[in-house]
Chains A and B, each alone.
Chain A
Amino acid sequence: MTMKQPSPKRRFVTKRFSRIASLRRSKIAAPILVVAALFTIGTAFGVASALPSAQQTPVTSTSPLVSQGKAIFLRGCSSCHGLNAEGGNIAPSLIGVGAAAVDFQVGTGRMPMMDMSMQAMQKKPLYDPQQTAALAAYVASLAPGPAAVTNDNLNWERDGNIAEGGQLFRTNCAMCHNFAGQGGALTNGKYAPSLMGVEPKYVYEAMVTGPQSMPKFTDATITPQEKLSIISWLQNVNHEQNQGGASLGRVGPFTEGLVAWTLAIGLLIGVSVWLALKAK
């Protein structure tokens, strides 16, 4: 049996592979490989370290988080608050308001304010928590101000006293927010919002920063422990069972009168009509 001769193309490829194979076995192959590997790793590391890291906490005004915050600020906030957050006719200065104010306003979605009405309304936040933190870092970098808090480091369950919180709430808060934190009217369409279901950190930050119409409650006038008591009381009221049935909104006699004029007399007139109708 005669061996078939390989085609010319096959012969060319075989020759090339033979060449690489022999180079692989040469003495210089190992050093070349090591240098190539080092070069690759070093380049990769250099590239990777140049990307901004999300875990980094801002330390200086040139830190990446602050820069990110500034970029977001210029895009989304400066048109009202000014290029340097100095404020103007339509929006106040943010210099000195601190990270707490930003965490509150942006975290609850009040800012950015979408319409120029009397009051910024709470809505779905535009920025996610990371972006909010960046904005807060930027504003905090402008001037010293109250720091943001987190729900975890507010130990209201341990340190807050519900009864004391109720006393404080009724003295300092109920005149705007109503006796059960249901909210209330201010002048010209402004309002104090309901406090039900508001996260403890936002309650704390609001007391400290005095957003919009709300006055500030400094730590000297309501101590941090007293603020925790207020939060305890609010949490309690929010989850408090209704001893007597449907709460009717916890706004007082207004809804009670409505129920009397609709449900109560309606039922009674209904029965009266039935009573006087001739039976079949």
Chain B
Amino acid sequence: MSTNIERFQDPGLPEHVHRNADHDPAAEKRAEQQVAILFLISALGTIGTIASYIWIHPQVYIYIPILGSTNVQQMCVGLGLTAATLCIGLGAIQWAKKLMPDTEQVQERHEFRSSDEDRQALTDTVTSRVEEVGIARRPLIKRTLGLALGLVGLSPLVLLRDLGPMPGKYLDTTDWTAGTRLMLDPANTPIRPEDLEVGAVAQVLPELPAGRERTLENIGKDAVLLIRLRPEDFNLDAERLSWTYNGIIAFSKICTHMGCAVALYEQQTHHLLCPCHQSTFDVTRAAKVIFGPAARPLPQLAITVDDNGFLVAKQPFTVPIGPSFWERNSQNG
């Protein structure tokens, strides 16, 4: 086995190659002109920006291939700004490339490491100063200092307590109770069973007591989807079947996965799809999850009809709606 392997050596920095502009005055002049033109275009760009801002009407639109019909002022102010900035950059770079000296230069790196003497001096200084602090010799100070510093960091955390209320039972309940009428969203009118045909859907919200304004927080819990199927399409146990009315079934619209609105109803397959993460629910089996990351079916709202023939809730939701949380007892849905 050969022990003397000769390896390639560093040939050093290559010979500097001069650019045209370095030795040819005509090329130099051309390069200067190029840079100058770029800076001039930038100037024109700025003028164009200001002129577009002032004189183009803000509601004029023009058709341009690829862009479609687009707002002229918006585009011209933007393109003016583009020319203004881009060309300064192109000019500066062209100037550096063609005219500024481009001989590669070498600079030595410096060692970061301090000398051993300096390191030793640091160690000595730190040791002696720590000795002067004397905390090792003063356990009483050490312990009480630890107590004070440890506690002082707690106050800021406690001061944040009023960021929000405690959740309490909020997540467990909605505005749906026995007898609450189902109201169409956004029309806010009550709905009868005969308003829906087989294959029809309706977005509903609970009727609120007079004087109470509906808030987004209410919608985030109360939104319900009504779907009508043929009664023979259902595959439900007796209890869940009793929560339907003549083929009409109601589910919470808030996805049990992460809270998006689930309203994508596929009429022929009887599947509900949530567009956020593609959880798929089977309406005929009480919104059982058949695909996707949701772990629980959509809570079903028991419905019936009141004396006037309008659809009403029979009872509140029997489980908390929406995404899971620690305190949720999710054993039964």
Contacts and interface: CB of A to CB of B under 8 A. Distances in A.
Interface string B240-264: 0000000000000000000001011
A274 B291 CA distance: 50
A175 B264 contact: yes
Interface stretch (B48-56, B107-115, B166-174, B193-201): B193-201
Interface in B232-289: 261, 263-269, 271, 273, 275, 278, 280
Nearest to B196: A218
B186 interface: yes
B203 interface: yes
Given A171-B186, A172-B203, A175-B264, A279 B61 contact: no
B185 interface: yes
Task: Name the prevailing secondary structure of the A interface residues.
Answer: loop
A220 interface: yes
Contacts of A18: none
A240 to B, nearest CB: 8
B202 interface: yes
B263 A244 contact: no
B20 A280 contact: yes
Interface string A83-106: 000000000000000000000000
A176 to B, nearest CB: 5
A217 interface: yes
B119 to A, nearest CB: 40
A279 B102 contact: yes
A224 B191 CA distance: 16
A168 B186 contact: yes
A215 interface: yes
Interface in B161-198: 184-187, 191-192, 194-198
Contacts of B69: 241-242
B97 A221 contact: no
B70 interface: yes
Interface in A14-61: none
Interface in B11-49: 17, 19-21
10 contacts: A172-B203, A176-B264, A186-B264, A187-B280, A212-B268, A213-B268, A215-B267, A221-B201, A271-B93, A279-B21
Interface of A: 167-168, 171-172, 175-176, 184-187, 190, 210, 212-218, 220-221, 223, 226, 241-247, 271, 274-275, 277-280
Given A187-B271, A247-B68, A279-B97, 5 more contacts: A171-B203, A213-B269, A215-B265, A220-B196, A242-B71
